[in-house]
Chains A and B, each alone.
Chain A
Amino acid sequence: MTTIETKSLSDSAKTKCFGVSVADIMSKDVITFAEDDPVEDVIGIFEMHHFHTYPVLSANGELVGTIDQNIVLEVLLFNRVPRTRHTHLAAIRSLGEDAKGIMMPHPVTISYDTDLYNAADMMLKHYIDRACVTDDGKLVGIVSKRDVINEVYRTRGTG
């Protein structure tokens, strides 16, 4: 077993973190779906990549929803899940033929200029693991807890 020494942020590292915005740490190369992408293609992307959530964009590039692993699992196994999960909405989603038909509309978003602390606070307080980053309704990236941890770790190392 390896034991590592942990330490809290130094003052200089804190100052560095304070100036960091979500835009600095988010993933910018995001795989997105168009609203009319067929469900089979959507499931194929989940098989190819390891990401948890994919944004769905409208024809004019606006973020309209997200598709995450839970949705794909629910769609794939709808026939097998217990009756209590056979809600009207789940039944409609199971018949969805394209990304729009199965996506979760109105995803939680975070503005690109939100600072790191506020982003982390929101994630911790409301148990949000990742959020789409937007600039005036347009998707510019995705930020996850891992991105925040990586940034804090990087800053601490150089602090």
Chain B
Amino acid sequence: MEDLLLLLLIVFLAKVFGEVIERAGFPAILGEISAGIVIGVLFIEPDSEVLSFFAELGAIFLLFTAGYREVHIAQLRSASGKALIPTISQMFFAFGSGFLLGLVFNLGFLQSIFMGVAFSPTSIGVVVKTLIDFDYLSSRPGTMMLTSAIFDDIIGIFLLSIVVTMATYNQAPSGMQILIIAAKLVGYMVIMGFLGLKVFPRLFTCVQKMHVKESIFAFVIIIALFSAYLAEVFGLHAVIGAFIGGLLISDIPLAKISNVQSKVSGLAYGIFVPIFFAFIGMSVELEIVKTSGLFIALVVVLALLGKLIGGFIGTRLIGFDYHDSLVFGLGMMPRAGVELVVISAGRTMGIIGDEAFSAIVLMVVISIIVSPILLKVAIMNKGIFGRSAN
């Protein structure tokens, strides 16, 4: 199929399906993935180079906007250290369940590690609506979820950067190789830190005075692409660089003018990100549902249980009661963007096989559907217990 027509079809169906799903009360990402599955089943295989390049840009811009718009470095500083215990606990259990599952199914060390990393992050946005509806956003578990989610992305990206660098050795790294991985990470962070603190702020002061059209917008995009490219030069994945680049310019006033933010968001969420999610959907092999039913079921159950148990134990350790710990654990279950970027990176690098890839995409879809429902049931049950206690 012609590339132009293909892109047109994907963006159109992703938006239409996204709207239908959004109106049905679920996040649009489900519709965008479904659009990809439908296109993949009915029309074409995702073998277009143009399409995979656009999807790669989608992953880059998804994480760039996460750093650029959604995280503030000041927030990280002010986030309560207390949230670290539940955060580490839920990520540790989720990672462990993914890693062990991979080992049990003989997926090899690296693929198992990737499974663990793909199980680790959380997409808190999926359950915010439920928390609001039940007036739970400002509750103890609600605020803890929001604080935990601040650390969540950062730790997720850190894990991804380690695993991607490990993947270049195609085996468990030796002591020397671990040092090289650490040196590359530190080297990249030092260069980016210097640019972020000393160069980018001055750069935008100059860019602001340029006469060419859309100079600030163009330089925001240039920094996104530069950070992604430099990360690849250092043996990291492009998406990691994009996230760090976004984070570094999130504190520069000229780069955050609302008009520029709106254009970056339009480019990302209007075009590239829906293409990325649709591409993920197109890459799903539905046949594995028949052939690997047990594996898929275990991926879904363990990914959800890992978060639930880890979140529950972590919050119990800092003094939450049973119910609040349960609510926290359930709130940490949904996965969306970062997880899909992780498995997409793993697949592109030839580490994640079709089976694990498709199983994790289905896990993401199911987690988005069931997490708000289970959270709702848990919150409502507290009311029932409260009344019976009275």
Whether A associates with B in a native complex is yes
Complexed CA–CA distance, A31 and B72 (Å): 26
Residue of B nearest to A68 (CB): B258
Flag if B137 contacts A91 (CB, 8 Å): yes
Residue in contact with B208 in the complex, picked from A82, A89, A91, A126, CB distance below 8 Å: A126
Contacts of A105 in B (CB 8 A): 72, 74, 251
Complexed CA–CA distance, A78 and B146 (Å): 15
Residue in contact with A108 in the complex, picked from B69, B125, B131, B253, CB distance below 8 Å: B253
Knowing A84-B22, A95-B143 are in contact, say whether A108-B137 is a contact too (CB < 8 A).
Answer: no
Knowing A79-B132, A88-B70 are in contact, say whether A95-B137 is a contact too (CB < 8 A).
Answer: yes
Complexed CA–CA distance, A52 and B82 (Å): 37
Which bucket holds chain B's interface residue count?
20 to 34
Count of CB-CB pairs between chains A and B under 8 Å: 63
Contact of A107 with B by CB under 8 A? yes
Contacts of B28 in A (CB 8 A): 84
Dominant secondary structure at the B interface: helix
Complexed CA–CA distance, A108 and B129 (Å): 32
Knowing A91-B137, A95-B138, A126-B208 are in contact, say whether A83-B253 is a contact too (CB < 8 A).
Answer: no
Flag if B146 contacts A92 (CB, 8 Å): yes
Flag if B69 contacts A89 (CB, 8 Å): yes
Against B, the Cβ 8 Å flags (1 = close, 0 = not) of A126-146 are 111000000000000000000
Complexed CA–CA distance, A107 and B132 (Å): 29
Against A, the Cβ 8 Å flags (1 = close, 0 = not) of B347-380 are 0000000000000000000000000000000000
Knowing A88-B149, A89-B69, A95-B143 are in contact, say whether A108-B257 is a contact too (CB < 8 A).
Answer: yes
Which bucket holds chain A's interface residue count?
20 to 34
Residue in contact with A126 in the complex, picked from B22, B69, B257, CB distance below 8 Å: B257
Against B, the Cβ 8 Å flags (1 = close, 0 = not) of A70-95 are 00000000110011101111011011
A55: shortest Cβ distance to chain B, in Å? 13
A66: shortest Cβ distance to chain B, in Å? 10
Flag if A88 contacts B146 (CB, 8 Å): yes
Flag if A78 contacts B208 (CB, 8 Å): no
Contact of A106 with B by CB under 8 A? yes
Question: Can you show 22 pairs from A to B with CB atoms below 8 A apart?
Answer: A79-B132, A83-B22, A86-B128, A86-B132, A87-B125, A88-B125, A88-B146, A88-B149, A88-B150, A89-B69, A89-B72, A91-B128, A91-B146, A94-B137, A105-B74, A106-B253, A106-B256, A125-B208, A126-B208, A126-B216, A126-B257, A126-B260
Which residues does A use to contact B, with CB under 8 Å?
Answer: 78-79, 82-84, 86-89, 91-92, 94-95, 105-109, 122, 125-128
Please list the 4 inter-chain residue pairs (A to B) with the smallest Cβ-Cβ separation, ordered nearest first.
A127-B259, A86-B128, A106-B253, A108-B253
